[in-house]
Structure 1
Amino acid sequence: QRIHWFDEGRLSPHVFGLTGMRDPNTFKRVYTPDPDKKIPVRFFVRGFKYEFLGVIPMDLHLIGVEGSTPEESLFLLGTDEQGRDLWSRLMYATRTSLIIGLVGVSLSLLLGVFLGGVSGLYGGVLDTVIQRVIEILRSIPTIPLWMGLAAALPNDWSVTQVYFAITLIISLIGWTELARVVRGRFLSLRQEDFVMAAELAGCNQMRIIFTHLVPSFLSHIIAATTLAIPAMIISETSLSFLGLGLRPPAISWGVLLQQAQNIQALAISPWLLIPAIPVTIVILAFNFMGDGLRDAADPYGH
């Protein structure tokens, strides 16, 4: 049943108690709300025991009914077709999708800075090979490439193996744009006096890249990385939604939205589309933050 927010004109969230009766035709026990039994819904109530962060035993709940059991839990966003709490699953899915996005961007950042830096600093045959690889990857449509690599994963892999494989696939494709930006900056900076001074001082190439060149345009890298996070999250969500990414019992935004593909299930339980809301909010938030960082890092933007 839904939460009733007002009682006699006053804000008083509550639910009705249930009265059970036996159906004389089907012999099934049917429960109906009893308006005379009003059970208040409060913050920080005592209920069934659980382990906070998996280690700390607690019985304090953020919101719920005093003295509730697991069967009497408050489902703020309803349940899925198997009776599982959608709010709890959404929280776990948010953690999974954000971790994949952040880890994927971190790996792409390392690959982009390293390969782009090597390409721009050394030049020659190495630069040609890296640029041809980038052109090949960028010439293939991104989603079909993701789908092809994800579909090649063995079906007998565990959830953990698929989790890391999807993260690696996304990051191996997302480094190309940053690598080109880094290469262009290195080509313009490698003849600067501070680079030549570092070379004359005996610094190796990796030290020059990460100690002298990268910090000179770190703000641009941060802005580009922030703008890449939404693409990583969308890619994982799309693959899981299509059934080529994470698979149950793993859970992510894409896995939750898989259930919304069924029109019949969606007509009965429209709240299955709720995971699309945090996806939209997070994507817009990272895009706005990335745009702000990019404008702040651009000295000619004003």
Structure 2
Amino acid sequence: MNDISDPTSDLPPLTVDGDETGPAISPLREGDDPSKISVASQWTLIWTKFTRNKVAVGAGCVVFFLYFVALFAEVLAPTDPARAQPRLTYAPPQSLAFFTEGENGREWLPHVKGYAMTVDPASLRRSFTVDDEKVIPVGLFVEGTPYKLWGLFPMSTHLIGPLDDKQPMNLLGTDSLGRDLLSRLIYGARISMSIGLIGVISSLVIGTVLGALSGYYGGWVDLAVQRLIEVISAMPTIPLWLGLAAAIPITWSPLKVYFIITLIVSLLAWTSLAREVRGRLFVLKNEDFVTAAILDGSRQRRVIFRHILPSLTSHILAVVTLAIPTMIVAETALSFLGIGLKPPVVSWGVLLQDAQNIRTVATAPWLLIWPSLAVVLAVLSFNFLGDGLRDAADPYES
């Protein structure tokens, strides 16, 4: 007599190319409990499959870290990103050391070495070298430049910084005005990461609603939505961005320009999602659970948004995750070309504007390297995370 606690005991294993991969109802692996998997919810199966993808889990941790940095940029940044140090223009990165030589041998003292500046009498160009005799102690949770956390709470505590706020600490170097690149990179994460998130939310709403209406109703509704998608897709992206950016008045505040750029990017990015949702609606609207909801007296709006779309949640989540890096790259490209965000707004694209000057890149290559690495890290992390979510969206597929 079979054990009734194991509902999969009578099911033959699923065999692919002669290899047993598990019971027919679920892609089990060695060590899985069939009795738990057989009664698990859809989201549990998705989470189980996602956590097996170590690359996707690692990418998710990186994405979480980037948003954590963006959320607490004021605390994590060593100093104010707009604070200029005229005597330290294009100063190279300083190395963070943890031990120093003292009277009793090696002593624990986190510090950076100061700068020694020389001026070429012919070209009047400054050059910086490390001054081993000048030790600048560094600490955690030190008092520094005052700020308002999220624009609300006055604070002056920074996660890391020099014990003497008047001493320079530029772990990633400085720019043409002597501003700390690390602080600007941290503040830039807030703009670049949030513009991708806000833009995707906007395109998610537009693409999901129009795609659902197009796929469910068909007829003239589908015809109108598809022609609109074709018109937007046929427009050349760069000239359209140039035209829309040129229409933004130069008297507008940086905050208003930020939201307009977000809106422009989102209005051009909803078409692919709308087509995917439309295709899914064409298939699902003839399923038995939709027919049952209609016969039960549900209105069409309730059928679409309470019965059909929730079944697409996992797929839409994966598509949205893959769309965020596109938004980040779009903002970076617009700002790099000078038609997106502009100073005093700090974003990764704005930081990369210095890369247009060959002499600047040759003199201070860190101004190109670090913002580029930040963009690459964010884009790759979102892509790996999206791939993992897309694979996990169908937990029954081995």
**What is the identity percentage for the equivalent residue pairs of Structure 1 and Structure 2?**
55
- In structure 2, the gaps of 5 or more residues are 1-91, 119-127
Tell me what 2:240 maps to. 145
Pair 1:107-2:199 in alignment:
no
- Please state if 1:14 is matched with 2:106: no
Aligned: 1:159 with 2:254? yes
Change (3 A) 1:269 1:201: same
Secondary structure in structure 1 of the residue aligned to 2:342: coil
Equivalent-residue separation in structure 2 for 1:97 and 1:247 (angstroms): 13
Deviations 1:129-151 (A, max 9, x none): 11011112222333333333223
- Asked whether the equivalents of residues 195 and 208 of structure 1 are also in contact (C-alpha less than 8 Å), the reply is yes
Q: Is the 8 A contact 2:136 2:167 kept in 1?
A: no
**Judging changes above 3 Å, is the alpha-carbon distance between structure 1 residues 300 and 180 closer, same or farther for their aligned structure 2 residues?**
farther
What CA distance in whole angstroms lies between the structure 2 residues aligned with 1:218 and 1:187?
16
Does 2:218 match 1:123? yes
What residue in structure 1 maps to residue 383 of structure 2?
A: 287
Which residue number corresponds to residue 20 of structure 2?
Answer: none
- Structure 1 segments unaligned to the other structure (5+ residues): 22-30
Is 1:172 matched up with 2:172?
A: no
Within-5 A mapping of 1:1-302: 2-3=94-95, 5=97, 7=100, 13-16=110-113, 35-41=132-138, 43-44=139-140, 46-48=142-144, 50-51=146-147, 53=149, 54-66=151-163, 68-69=164-165, 71-273=166-368, 274-298=370-394, 301-302=397-398
Cα drift, residue 297 of structure 1? 1.4
Report if aligned partners of 1:44, 1:60 keep a CA contact under 8 Å in 2. no
Shift of 1:200: 2.9
Aligned pair count reads: 291
Question: In the alignment, is the contact (CA less than 8 A) between 1:3 and 1:13 conserved in 2?
Answer: no
Q: 1: distance between equivalents of 2:210 and 2:249?
A: 29
- CA separation of 1:82/1:129 partners in 2, compared to 1, >3 Å: closer, same or farther? same
Higher-helix-fraction structure:
1
| 2-structure distance, mates of 1:152, 1:19 | 47
Of 131-140 and 116-125, the range deviating more from structure 2: 131-140
133 and 92 in structure 1: CA distance in 2 versus 1, 3 angstrom threshold: same
Do 2:352 and 2:372's aligned partners in 1 also have CA atoms closer than 8 Å? yes
Structure 1 match to 2:68? none
- The separation in 2 between residues aligned to 1:215 and 1:48, in whole angstroms, is 49
How far, CA to CA, are the matches of 2:367 and 2:173 in structure 1? Answer: 9
Deviations 1:74-100 (A, max 9, x none): 122121101112111111111011111
Given the superposition, is the C-alpha separation of residues 51 and 248 from structure 1 closer, same or farther in structure 2, using an over 3 Å criterion? closer
Distance 2:276 2:356 in 1: 39
- What SS does the corresponding residue of 2:159 show, helix, strand or coil? strand
1:246-299 Cα offsets, whole Å, 9 max, x none, are 111112111110011111112221111111111000000000000011111135
| Superposition deviation, residue 48 in structure 1 | 3.2
State the Cα distance separating 1:49 from its structure 2 match: 5.2
Query: Where does residue 88 of structure 2 map in the other structure?
Result: none
Q: Give the direction of change, closer, same or farther, for the CA distance of 1:119–1:35 in structure 2 (3 Å limit).
A: closer
Write the letter of the residue equivalent to 2:191. Answer: T
